[in-house]
Amino acid sequence: MSGQARRKGILRLGWERLSTWAEAHRHALHQSLRSLRARPLSSLATALVLGLVLALPALARGVMEGLAALESRLEAEAEWILFPESKAMPDLRALADALARDPRIASLRIRDAEENLATLLAQPGFGDLVDLLGENPLPPILILHPSASLAPEAREALLRELRERPGIALALPSEDWRGELRRWLDRGRAVLMPIGLLLALATLAVLFNTLRLDLLERAEEIEVVRLLGASDGFVQRPFLYVGLWLGSAAGAVAALLSRGVLLLLEGSLAAYALDGELGAMLLAPSLRGSMAVVAFGAALGLSGAWLAVRVHLARLP
Amino acid sequence: MLRFEEVSKSYPGGGEALRGVSFSVAEGELVFLTGHSGAGKSTVFRLISMQERATRGRVLFGGIDLARAKRRERAALRRELGLVFQDHRLLPEQSALANVELPLLIAGLPAAERRRRARAALELVGLGERLDASPQRLSAGEQQRVGIARAIVRAPSLLIADEPTGNLDPQLSFEIMRLFASLARHGMAVLIATHDLGIVERIGARTLTLEHGRLVSDRPAEASS
């Protein structure tokens, strides 16, 4: 046989195998859709129940994702507020000029008393403050960004220096409440992990039971197919597809529900947000996050189906 | 092709269904297995189709001891078998054509080839006009013939049939038996369990007789068969 004829033979064999594989999957796909169509209400109810079970971890994951994004943004934008001893602007400018020469300070700017008051009045509930006090009680301040390349120890040393420096009454770093936020995030993750795991197990159990009932209902058909020489793979494929569809649908329901709940929360959270960006970060779970929830649901569906079929096949004589 | 060596089968609390049965079926041979109800015909069928294992002795198919075959190997061996069930065992939600195509789908044949062969098999059993009918819309005799078409469509090495003509009228039964004889002449080993002695006489093939789980006679084929 010439090399060309052999190559053609190999190609034809490869094509035939690919066609066979594709045909087996097309058949399994068709079977799975027929099985779901045969019980539309039951299939829909299963997907909804699973979606509700998955929605809670999906929602918590969305909030955690937003907080984590906020944390990393704040990490990159460390901001310190310096309150001067003197409210006189020339003194403040002299202090700012002196500090600007320090290479450890990336940038700094003066925010005068009027701007500080405008920021405060923009917060809900502070609108009547000026009427109440009669004059602006706020001092001008210096907003300083330390260099991002500073090591934590060097940053700590700089802060100590600033606090001891003449002319500065108070130096407030944003790290304090960021540390608190990080601790809350860590606690949240620690609580979320076991809860997520338990709910995932509950999803798996529901899927396992749904598929088991489906398998029992089609036990006669499975027996015939096996007697005709079907491999375990051939028998289990349609059920794996059913698990995949149910799991994906549940994931989609969970992603939609969590997005819906976050949108509902938007109004109430906006009142407490320090700025618009914070709210936006918390309330806009990424598309990637939603896709991850759907993929997680699909993976659970596949696993549940695989487990149900394996247990069923192992019990057959 | 098929060999039973001193095969016994007993069930817990239920006596012996087969007692030291030995026989063999060669390639291209048509063999009838007769006996009254409870004689052990269906047990022979279940042992060959690997639904059960022998308690003692060996069942060999193509030289392979079926009791020792691994799961994957059993599936491969079943693809070499054609099975006709007494209760047809068709898939109720699928058409006659789809039922007959199923063994070919399992074997991995392309769709066009499957359709062509399944159509030909159904025409062979006289159901060329009922390809799209679902089993519920077919009579018992027609369902039986779909089952036969499904068993022969893959041209198996060994065809075993449990009362394949139980629901057919005498003329159609004879036609189906002649079809089996013709398949045997083309090299297929065929073992048919039946209690229809009339048709056994008419075909005149080798006949094994079971009584209370024992093989009591092995009558050779008549010269005219």
Distance of CA B96 to the CA centre of its chain: 19
SS3 B214: strand
**Residue B87 forms part of a structural domain:** no
**Distance between CA atoms of residues A202 and A207, nearest Å:** 9
Residue of A nearest to B46 (CA): A227
B78 lies within 8 A of chain A by CB: yes
DSSP β-bridge partners for residue A168: A84
SS3 A179: helix
What is the predicted pLDDT for the residue at B120? 94
Same structural domain for residues B59 and B169? Answer: yes
Tokens representing residue A277 in the block: 């960006």
Same structural domain for residues B166 and B65? Answer: yes
Q: Which element (helix H / strand E) includes B84?
A: strand B81-84
Q: Between A220, A228, A231, which is nearest B102 by CB?
A: A228
Same structural domain for residues B76 and B173? Answer: yes
The ipTM, to two decimals, is: 0.88
Q: Between A27, A224, A229, which is nearest B91 by CB?
A: A224
Query: Closest Cα to residue A239, out of A34, A16, A101?
Result: A34
Same structural domain for residues B142 and B165? Answer: no
Domain ranges of chain A: 28-74+179-315, 79-173
Which residues fall within 8 angstroms of residue A252, CB to CB, at 6 or more apart?
A: A51, A294, A297
Set of chain A residues whose Cβ sits within 8 Å of the Cβ of B51: 227, 317
What is the predicted pLDDT for the residue at A13? 77
> Residue A281's pLDDT band (boundaries 50, 70, 90)?
low
Same structural domain for residues B2 and B68? Answer: yes
Instruction: Annotate B15-44 with DSSP letters as a single string.
Output: -EEEEEEEEEE-TT-EEEEE--TTSSHHHH
Q: Which element (helix H / strand E) includes B115?
A: helix B111-124
Task: Mark which of B106, B125, B155 sits at the end of a domain.
Answer: B155
What is the predicted pLDDT for the residue at B224? 46
**Distance between CA atoms of residues A295 and A301, nearest Å:** 10
pLDDT tens for residues A203-239?
888 888 888 888 888 888 899 999 999 988 899 999 9
**Distance between CA atoms of residues A223 and A282, nearest Å:** 53
What is the predicted pLDDT for the residue at A87? 81
Q: Between B52, B89, B110, which is nearest A224 by CB?
A: B89
SS3 B137: helix
Same structural domain for residues B1 and B73? Answer: yes
**Residue B37 forms part of a structural domain:** yes
User: Is the pLDDT at A88 greater than 50, yes or no?
Assistant: yes
What is the predicted pLDDT for the residue at A194? 84
Task: Mark which of B135, B155, B175 sits at the end of a domain.
Answer: B155
Same structural domain for residues B26 and B135? Answer: no
- Closest Cα of chain B to A238: distance in Å? 13
**Distance between CA atoms of residues A214 and A220, nearest Å:** 12
What is the predicted pLDDT for the residue at B206? 92
Residues of chain B with pLDDT under 70: 223-225
CA distances from A23 to A16, A29, A260 (A): 10, 10, 40
Mutate to test the interface with B, among A228, A235, A237, A313 (most CBs of B within 10 A): A228
Q: Flag if B83 and A24 touch (Cβ within 8 Å).
A: no
**Distance between CA atoms of residues B195 and B209, nearest Å:** 10
Same structural domain for residues B68 and B4? Answer: yes
Mean pLDDT of chain A: 81
How many structural domains is chain B composed of? 2
Same structural domain for residues B118 and B206? Answer: no
Query: Closest Cα to residue A244, out of A207, A201, A288?
Result: A207
**Residue B86 forms part of a structural domain:** no
Phi-psi region of A124 (alpha: psi -120 to 50; beta: other; left: phi over 0): beta
Query: Which structural domain, as residue segments, surrounds residue B198?
Result: 1-80+157-225
Overall residue count recorded for chain B in this entry: 225
Query: Closest Cα to residue A283, out of A269, A294, A304?
Result: A269
SS3 B4: strand
Same structural domain for residues B147 and B170? Answer: no
What is the predicted pLDDT for the residue at B3? 94
Set of chain B residues whose Cβ sits within 8 Å of the Cβ of A34: 93
Tokens representing residue B64 in the block: 């392979």
B46 lies within 8 A of chain A by CB: no
Task: Mark which of B124, B155, B186 sits at the end of a domain.
Answer: B155
User: Is the pLDDT at A200 greater than 90, yes or no?
Assistant: no
- Closest Cα of chain B to A234: distance in Å? 7
Same structural domain for residues B3 and B76? Answer: yes
CATH architecture of the domain covering A79-173: 2-Layer Sandwich (3.30)
Q: Between A20, A226, A317, which is nearest B108 by CB?
A: A20
Cβ-based burial of A66 (10 A; exposed 0-12, middle 13-18, buried ≥19): buried
**Distance between CA atoms of residues B93 and A31, nearest Å:** 11
Between B26 and A148, name the one with better pLDDT: B26
> Residue A76's pLDDT band (boundaries 50, 70, 90)?
low
Q: What is the CATH number of the domain that holds B200?
A: 3.40.50.300
List, in sequence order, the alpha helices (H) in chain A.
3-38, 40-76, 89-100, 113-121, 129-133, 152-164, 175-217, 219-227, 232-270, 276-283, 287-315
